[in-house]
Amino acid sequence: MVDTTIPTRTSGHNQLQSLKEQLRSVTSFPAQVKTDSRLPAGTNVSDWLAAQPFETKVLWSDRESSDTVVGAGLARRLVADSSQNMDDVVLQCRQILADSTDLRFYGGFSFRRDEHVQSRKWRPFRHAQFVLPRFTHDGTTLSCTVMDEKDFEQAEQDIDSLETSVTSLSPSPKLVQRVDLPSKADWQANIEDAIELFESEIVEKVVLARRADFTFDRPLSPIRLVQRLMAATTACYHFCFQLDHGTAFVGATPERLIKRHGSRLLSEVVAGTRPRGLTESEDRRLAQELLSSAKDQLEHDIVRKSIRQRLHKYVNALEVDSQASLLKLARKQHLYSGVRATLKDGVSDGELLERLHPTPAVGGYPTENALAEIARIEQFDRGWYAAPIGWITSDAAEFAVAIRSGLVSDRELSLYSGAGIVPGSKADEEWCEIEHKIRDFLDVMQTS
């Protein structure tokens, strides 16, 4: 693994020439070469990403810091179908990475892991897909990855294609049409259907989702959309996976599934929602309402119990917050419980993903029954919505749950969000909760 950084600031032309010169000195693979690449004042890495001509683009922003990494172009792609489990996919990524700790695969899985026909909208994403970008940029350093000797020529061609002229945020397109699936009347029927499941004791909780399709007057820029979300939403993972030209999965999710380094594992329970108040007193009232809500506490407890049960045999020590606290975001607040564990030797990240996905926060409980009812009731393909998305290195991994997300396809934006349905749920209240969850997207789209 070659990791070479040129510490001096250079012009765009010199940066590209520097990468080429370093590539010629590479003798072991996979290799990554780097050059200093400070962006002009008033621009950032998402501006740089938006300017690049490549079909494949990714953006990942950490929830707990301002660190954002973007990737453009493709050094390697790994695609899997439903016959391959998550553990197989993670292992294949690690085999490609070897011991190269600086290289990251970015990608995700579909919500459903069984054999099913994917909708046209989600077909480019497949059941699982991970990409190793040709170029990554973190705001100060531009890196280029080459996989083997046969990859040199393509890498040099990709360097020649890099755009060094970067522009800032552009105006948003205008909304032309909105269509809800299901309609409000059908949503009422779906909730009534779910209530009957509780009465017959088939499930204790089921998470039902809605899709809202928006059409605009001109094509959307997924990168620009995420850029606006980053400015408007705090304490979230922000992401963009553009794996096909004109089609991208984007979002701002507050929910971590796993973060693992060595034997240390972090996970969490995020279930139960209220908006933030417009004043301090209103915010306190809504927070107290959430903390004292029997319905929301029940929903949260079901997820917390499930996490304990699923992790039990994989850990030497497990600590789950016994009482929910508040996770306060810019416009929403959630019931939150932290999960901390020390893993047993030999437990893989793929095993953890298989064990934890889907949590009752996005599927329901018991899981098998809830998933069967979701497949029966919902009228659309969830695709990667509410599924694990994240990154993999040779010795670590982090995955979030892809809620608060949308699929961009040319002039269309399909927004996905769900509500946990338990005994006591009311259709109108759950409809309004989902409207509030997708509000972040609608507000940033209306910003010129």
270 pLDDT above the threshold of 60: yes
Q: Does residue 295 have an active-site annotation?
A: no
Mean pLDDT of 104-133: 92
Q: How confident is the model at residue 194 (pLDDT cuts 50, 70, 90)?
A: very high
Q: β-pairing, 141-146 with 135-137?
A: antiparallel
Question: Does residue 114 have a pLDDT over 50?
Answer: yes
Residue 247 identity: T
Distance (Å, whole) CA 259 – CA 271: 19
Domain layout of the chain by residue ranges: 3-161, 175-223+254-445
Q: 226: closest CA among 60, 106, 108? A: 60
**Mean pLDDT computed over 55-61:** 97
The answer to whether the beta carbons of residues 26 and 1 sit under 8 Å apart is no
Query: CATH assignment of 175-223+254-445, given 3.90.226.10, 3.30.1600.10, 1.10.8.60, 3.60.120.10?
Result: 3.60.120.10
Instruction: Give residues with Cβ within 8 angstroms of 52, minimum separation 6.
Output: 72, 73, 135, 162, 163
Catalytic residue among 204, 255, 268, 299: 255
| Model confidence pLDDT, tens digit, residues 40-49 | 888 899 999 9
Residues 6+ apart with CB under 8 A from 287: 274, 326, 328, 333
Which class is 3-161 in CATH? alpha beta
Contacts of residue 248, Cβ cutoff 8 Å, sequence gap at least 6: 57, 222, 240, 241, 242, 407, 408
Q: What is the mean pLDDT of residues 253-266?
A: 95
Is the predicted pLDDT of residue 1 greater than 50, yes or no?
A: no
Angle CA 381–383–384, to nearest 5: 155
Average pLDDT over residues 395-414: 96
pLDDT at position 8 over 50 = no
* pLDDT tens readout for residues 172-187: 789 999 999 999 999 9
Q: Look at the alpha carbons of 69, 72, 75, 77 in this order and tell me if their dihedral is positive or negative.
A: positive
Percent of the chain whose pLDDT exceeds 70:
96
* Range of weakest confidence among 161-170, 171-180, 312-321, 356-365: 161-170
The predicted-structure confidence for 60-99, as pLDDT tens digits, reads as follows: 999 887 789 999 999 999 999 888 999 999 999 999 998 8
The listed range with the strongest mean pLDDT (35-49, 157-171, 212-226) is 212-226
Mean pLDDT of the chain: 91
Q: What is the DSSP letter of 174?
A: P
Helix (H) or strand (E) holding 227: helix 222-232
Q: What are phi and psi of 206, to 5 degrees?
A: -140, 135
Among the listed residues 34, 57, 205, 332, the single catalytic one is 205
255 is catalytic: yes
d(CA 133, CA 145): 7
**What is the C-alpha separation between 381 and 407, in angstroms, rounded?**
12
Q: What percent of the chain lies above the pLDDT cut of 90?
A: 78
Question: Alpha-carbon dihedral of residues 221, 225, 228, 234, nearest 10 degrees?
Answer: -150
Pairing of strands 128-132, 57-61: unpaired
Confidence of residue 116 (pLDDT cuts 50, 70, 90): confident
Compute the C-alpha angle 45/40/133, nearest 5°.
30
Domain 3-161 and domain 175-223+254-445, same fold? Reply is: yes
User: Does residue 215 or residue 83 have the better pLDDT?
Assistant: 215
pTM across the whole model: 0.94
Joined tokens for residue 75: 């050094």
